[in-house]
Chains A and B, each alone.
Chain A
Amino acid sequence: MPPHDLLPDGNRRGRRWAKLASLIVLITLLAVVPPAMNSYDQYLITLTLVYAITTLGLNVLIGWTGQLSLAHAGVFGLGAYLSTILIQHGWGFVPSLLVAGLGSAIVGGLVVFPALRFSGFTLAVASLAFASVIVQLFDNGGSVTGGGGGLAVPVFQFSGLSQTMSTYYVTLISTVLCFVVAHRMRHLRFGRVAFSIRDTEIAAVVSGIRVVRYKVFVFAFAAFLGAIGGALYAQLETFIFPVMFSTNTLVLMLVMLFLGGASSLYGPIFGAIFAVVMVELLQSFGSYQDLLYGLLLMLVIGVLPGGMASLPERLRTSHLLGRAVRGVASRFGRGRQDEATAASPVPPTATGSSLVDDPGDGVESGVA
């Protein structure tokens, strides 16, 4: 979705406060509830947040800027390995987390060089090969990376908290920070430039945007987020080895990105929840779980190509359900606004493609 908030809207301020309040409630709940859970559930929640940060990085690349770079699992692993190696050499946790992020940002920025020359599938294959070299490095790094056997991760611990809870709180803080930064970037100049590079790069160049500079930054920022996610993942798993960062992990990230909704800010969170919850739910199906996971994935892509973040829009604009929702909404005094949407000259098919946003979105805000 394009940022609605950019458009003139009378309700905007009120809605923003409501959103902010609900976010604060959510974060407070996330801070208060998990200590009461068992450690496995704490692990699952932490994993969800780690996935969300990582996928957010991929989203900035693919969803916002349209750069189909597939090196993200490698960069994720780079964050995990760099931070672990630094901690093993006596660094503190927070400095090693940041240095791993920045170091990976520099390495991730290297992917930009093929990306400047082309786009699309060629970039995808080049970056995939780049990622496989990173994983090869882990495999052949001798005593530094532990080779195929992997590395034990010295886990950071707050005094008075369990390992899992310490990792959880660090992850929660990181998640909030990353999403706040991403939210600001999305709604300021950066987001609009990213979308313009994605949709019409030539027009962006012609308008005087320094596309190269932006692309370098996008690749570095995505790698930073991926590496932070990787470093936290290492803390959570307490042991890392090269296979954890193979193509399968990349596939999982792509699934989270597109199921959650590429180009939406909060899509990665939905995608991460889906990935974690589905794996847990399907565990009881034994040997059928992989098949069910694959089929479910196919089903969701087929039914909901715009991802889960497009679901509210989809419901509102679908024929049967949409009418029901509008009926209920009108009783609460929102009818006029939604009828305007229904009567908009541009059929709102924003869910059609996850990457091409529908200009009809603006109609709603304009009338209200």
Chain B
Amino acid sequence: MLQYIINGLQSGSWYSLLAVSIVIVMKASDVPNFAVANMGLVGAFLAYSFVSAHLPFGVAVVLGLLGAALFGVIIDRAVIQRLGDKGHFPLLLMTIGISLSLAAALELIWGTNSLSLNAPWSNKTVHLAGQIINWDGIVTIATGLVIAIAITWFFHTTAGVRMRAVAENRSAARLVGVRISRVSGLAWGIGTAVAALAMILQTESSVLSYTAGDALLVPAFVAATAAGFTSPVGAYVAGLVIGVLENLTGGYISTALQSVVALVVVVLILLLRPSGFTRTALARREV
């Protein structure tokens, strides 16, 4: 039981981080970023290359995250902002196009073989309350929590408030002097770095390949939906819940049913709170 819950919290943390990234990007650009997992993979592959170049793991991860953030800013400047006033659907399709291109590019650059990104704590375990627990599980859960708190704090800083203002009312924010393009770049940078963190944590505990993001995308989007695409804390909690439910279902009922959990969660959301579970989501609805 405890083992399932810890494993669930671990995979849930990956979903949570991706969902938080989706929410951040949604706030600034009003587009569901379907490329989130593959953009995060860019950071993971960069970190792998830095580790291969004999840099210490911590330095490699930081460089990978910075690279991912830069990549996010570039994508925003070069592609997303150019489509800014063309409506939702071209933007949405563009994120799909980015995702396809990225998967192909990652495959070309780093090959089709599964690589292993080894952290200092990989394959090490600790005995806790009679259970053997992997260190990467603990690190993942702790990182997820820290990021969730950090992002929540960020939304209360000046830059974060600007971002929320843009999400609430784009033209009003522009009228009071918020530079939309700067906010957008910041959101894509932070969002991509958070996604990269999720993918580094995920690939570090399994294998690194260009298809690593595919399985994470649907649960992450379900988590973001549960938060009404507005609340990072809501997205974080929803991601954890989905992860734990998936692992409990897989452990006690059937592994085939695991992916159905996401659907059940969606149906529950639809029935109970169509606009998400969190207070901000409700507030937005009233506006």
Contact = CB atoms under 8 A, between A and B. Distances in A.
A106 B235 CA distance: 33
Given A130-B263, A294-B97, A302 B82 contact: yes
B96 interface: yes
Contacts, number: 121
A118 B274 contact: yes
Given A114-B270, A128-B218, A294-B104, A255 B93 contact: yes
A255 B274 CA distance: 29
A203 interface: no
Contacts of A140: 256
Nearest to A288: B108
A117 B260 contact: no
Interface residues of B, number: 41
Given A121-B229, A353-B90, A251 B274 contact: no
Given A132-B262, A255-B93, A301-B97, A352 B86 contact: yes
Interface in A73-124: 114, 117-118, 120-122, 124
A interface secondary structure, majority: helix
Contacts of B103: 290, 294
A254 B108 contact: no
B interface secondary structure, majority: helix
Interface residues of A, number: 41
Contacts of A121: 32, 225, 229
A278 interface: no
Contacts of B102: 294
B142 interface: no
A291 B263 contact: no
B177 interface: no
B221 A128 contact: yes
Interface of B: 32, 79, 82-83, 85-90, 93-94, 96-98, 100-105, 107-108, 214, 217-218, 221-222, 224-225, 229, 256, 259-260, 262-263, 266-267, 270, 274-275
Closest A-B pairs by Cβ, 10 of them: A294-B101, A290-B104, A353-B87, A294-B100, A291-B104, A305-B90, A129-B263, A298-B97, A297-B97, A125-B225
19 contacts: A114-B267, A114-B270, A122-B225, A126-B266, A126-B267, A126-B270, A133-B263, A251-B100, A255-B93, A290-B104, A294-B100, A294-B101, A301-B94, A302-B79, A305-B90, A352-B86, A353-B90, A355-B87, A355-B88
Interface of A: 62, 114, 117-118, 120-122, 124-126, 128-130, 132-133, 136, 139-140, 247, 251, 254-255, 258, 262, 287-288, 290-291, 293-295, 297-298, 301-302, 305, 352-356
